[in-house]
Amino acid sequence: MNFKDYIKTHNILADGSFGTYYAEKYHTNEAPEYANIYHKDRVTNIHSSYLDAGANLIRTNTFATNTMSMQKDFSFVEDNIKEAVSLAKIAVKLSGKKDIFIAGDIGPVSTVSGVSNENLINEYFNIAKTFADEGIEIIQFETFMSLDVLADVIPKIKKELGLFIMVSFSVNQLGYSASGLSAKNLINDICAVDGVDAVGLNCGIGPYHMYNILEKIKLPEDKVLIAIPNAGYPVLTRNRMEFNSHPEYFAEKTKELLSLGADIIGGCCGTSPEFIKSLYDIMSMDIKADKKIRKADSADEKVSKKCGFLYDENGRKKDKKFIAVELIPPFNTDDEKLLESAHYLKNAGVDVLTFPDSPSGRTRVDSVLMAAKVYRETGIDVMPHVCCRDKNAFAMRAMFMGAKINDIKNFLIITGDPVPASARDLVKSVFNFSSVGLMKIAQEMNREVFNENPLNYGGAINQNLINLESIINTTKRKMDAGASFFLTQPVFSKEEADRLRKIKEETGACIFAGIMPLISRRNALFMKNEIAGINVTDEIVNRYPENGSKEDGEKVAVELAKEIISYIDDFADGYYFSFPFNRVYLLNRILG
């Protein structure tokens, strides 16, 4: 009987941890995956021990078999996988048992080295293909903390290789992964990916917390459910991490997961054959346990993508263009000029003030704290920019909550500029995720924390990137992650306006088009030559007199801004002004 048919009528008992048991049994800190090549008898013995304990699903010793973890080329990875599969098959043959299954085990590929999404997708696919070529029909992606790359590679694996695909995530006791995403939404989101057959949790937590987390989730009825907890929680003993949990307690608590509808149970870190034997002894392997099946309910998962900026308190669309103006926080604590500008812009009828997050990687006053002070002193709506350069997932969540209790609910979420090369020896970038990843955290918090009064956030569009189709796809991804509006790079030509119009047509995004009234020839040359992502043409530079006065430069600036507005007025939902050198008084001349 194949695995897909077998699991319809039987619970599956998976094996326990390979890595922690290998380290304990052989007193080594060596990565166990190398044993597939150098200590083959050890691998076979561990598989055999789990099969003797009662497991009928073993996972290959390949959790970290990838080019990043092993620092080897893919030919070594391929050979390692082949040996791992061969050793697992030998153990199954030696057991003499029927209805024993082997799953190819795939752990996360590290992205610390800046591996591109395309390369990650290729590596995961090639790993899966190697398993398929060796006759493995089941693969498990385990201990993942998000599904960004999985969402791209799993449909390809299913379509081209036809494997049974299992995915399990690692979360903490509160039910959140290291990326800040909840178990609830990780499971619901992965279920929407074409090709996924089984979903669930493994690692990170013991059976007690895993039960509490899964018990609160509306589980899908059309997917196999995986529940593979740790033995418990480790303690540091003799410079080693050890688990003090008892097999009997683990077995009793893990068996309770069957009552939630778990189809596959087993053990992760800290478990050994003794744990699996205790679990086998108290569970029935013949008939599936009665399941409390819960249909996934996605109604409460839908967060409105309607841009609230464009509607009044009665839900009627406003009849004027939305106006956002950027004010750059100072390098020091002197905020007098910025506050003067904020008061001026409030009186000028501006809708929201935005504050960049240390642009170009140069330290300025914190964007959220600056926004909080401006809101407190003026009452005008504010929108701090938040980039991914400086904070991890925990700090980002804390920041959103701190901003919210200070009445800030609007954010521009961007990936952000890198740390300048001159400072990289002292300052390390975080980049825990891209802007889409941070949007997913905000989306998560809107569902879980801010349900009554959600955050309103948007993203950036750089219309000057070469591949327009890629820009459109990225915009759609951001909208799927909850972005309700977009601020663009400054527009300086009709061609750029046409590209934005196309993006609008293809996505339906709410677009606030960027307008930067350059105030002199020198300013135009600087933006042209020194600032990436902004396309100031020679034609624009030449419109400014070489030795013109301040008044001459401002006259051209106003004319240029009005010209840009004529290009974008038919499709833009609003304008996003950035005034060089704080010349905010030009706004009335432009819009007057």
CB of 495 closer than 8 Å to CB of 448? no
**pLDDT at 23 exceeding the cut of 70:** yes
Share of the chain above pLDDT 70, in %: 94
pLDDT of residue 7: 93
**pLDDT at 253 exceeding the cut of 60:** yes
Q: Which class for 65: exposed (0-12), middle (13-18), buried (19 or more C-beta within 10 A)?
A: buried
Would you state the torsion angle of the CA atoms of residues 91, 95, 98, 103, taken in this order, to the nearest 10 degrees?
-20
pLDDT of residue 531: 87
CA distances from 232 to 14, 24, 109, 572 (A): 17, 16, 25, 55
pLDDT of residue 187: 94
Shortest CA distance to 142 belongs to which of 186, 80, 184?
186
pLDDT of residue 433: 80
Residue 388 marked in a binding site: no
Find out if CATH 3.30.450.70 is the number for domain 318-518+557-591.
no
Amino acid letter for position 183: A
Q: Which class for 573: exposed (0-12), middle (13-18), buried (19 or more C-beta within 10 A)?
A: buried
* pLDDT category of residue 112 using cuts at 50, 70 and 90: low
Residue 203 marked in a binding site: yes
Could you tell me the end-to-end alpha-carbon distance of the chain, in angstroms, rounded to an integer? 77
**pLDDT at 460 exceeding the cut of 60:** yes
- 237 phi, psi to nearest 5 deg: -135, 125
Residue extents of the structural domains in the chain:
3-293, 318-518+557-591
C-alpha 371, offset from chain centre: 26
pLDDT of residue 294: 37
pLDDT of residue 476: 94
Summarised one tens digit per residue, pLDDT across range 301-347 is: 333 456 878 877 777 778 889 999 999 999 999 999 999 999 999 99
- 235 against 180, higher pLDDT: 180
pLDDT of residue 113: 56
Q: Residue 98: how many CB atoms within 10 A of its CB?
A: 8
pLDDT of residue 519: 96
Alpha-carbon distance of 106 to 258, in angstroms, equals 25
Tokens 């540091």 locate to 236
Alpha-carbon distance of 2 to 583, in angstroms, equals 71
Reading phi first (left if > 0) and then psi (alpha if -120 to 50, else beta), residue 73 is in beta
CB of 400 closer than 8 Å to CB of 371? no
* pLDDT category of residue 236 using cuts at 50, 70 and 90: low
Shortest CA distance to 226 belongs to which of 195, 251, 186, 257?
257
Residue 269 marked in a binding site: yes
Which residues on neighbouring strands pair with residue 578, listed in sequence order?
326
Alpha-carbon distance of 538 to 492, in angstroms, equals 11
Shortest CA distance to 79 belongs to which of 67, 95, 94?
67
Summarised one tens digit per residue, pLDDT across range 282-305 is: 885 443 444 433 333 333 333 345
**pLDDT at 179 exceeding the cut of 90:** no
Across 283-438, the runs of DSSP E, i.e. the strands, are 322-326, 352-355, 381-387, 410-414
pLDDT of residue 88: 98
The token pair that represents 230 in the structure block? 């740790």
State the chain's mean pLDDT as an integer.
91
Alpha-carbon distance of 241 to 12, in angstroms, equals 29
Q: pTM above the 0.85 mark?
A: no
pLDDT of residue 524: 95
Alpha-carbon distance of 53 to 247, in angstroms, equals 12
Which of 84-98, 280-294, 510-524 comes out lowest in average pLDDT? 280-294
Alpha-carbon distance of 49 to 54, in angstroms, equals 9
CB of 137 closer than 8 Å to CB of 100? no
Mean pLDDT of 117-126: 93
**H/E element holding 102?**
strand 101-106
Which of 103-117, 196-210, 213-227, 305-319 comes out lowest in average pLDDT? 305-319
- 200 phi, psi to nearest 5 deg: 165, -155
Which of 89-98, 144-153, 579-588 comes out lowest in average pLDDT? 144-153
Mean pLDDT of 74-99: 97
Using N-to-C axis directions, what is the helix angle for 117-133 and 150-161, rounded to 10°? Answer: 30
Degrees, nearest 5: CA angle 519-525-526: 85
C-alpha 218, offset from chain centre: 22
Alpha-carbon distance of 483 to 441, in angstroms, equals 12
Mean pLDDT of 131-137: 98
Q: Which class for 383: exposed (0-12), middle (13-18), buried (19 or more C-beta within 10 A)?
A: buried
**SS3 at position 460:** strand
**pLDDT at 40 exceeding the cut of 60:** yes
Q: Residue 190: how many CB atoms within 10 A of its CB?
A: 25
The token pair that represents 120 in the structure block? 């990650």
Which of 129-143, 169-183, 362-376 comes out lowest in average pLDDT? 169-183
Taking the domain 3-293, which CATH number applies?
3.20.20.330
* pLDDT category of residue 582 using cuts at 50, 70 and 90: very high
Alpha-carbon distance of 237 to 142, in angstroms, equals 27
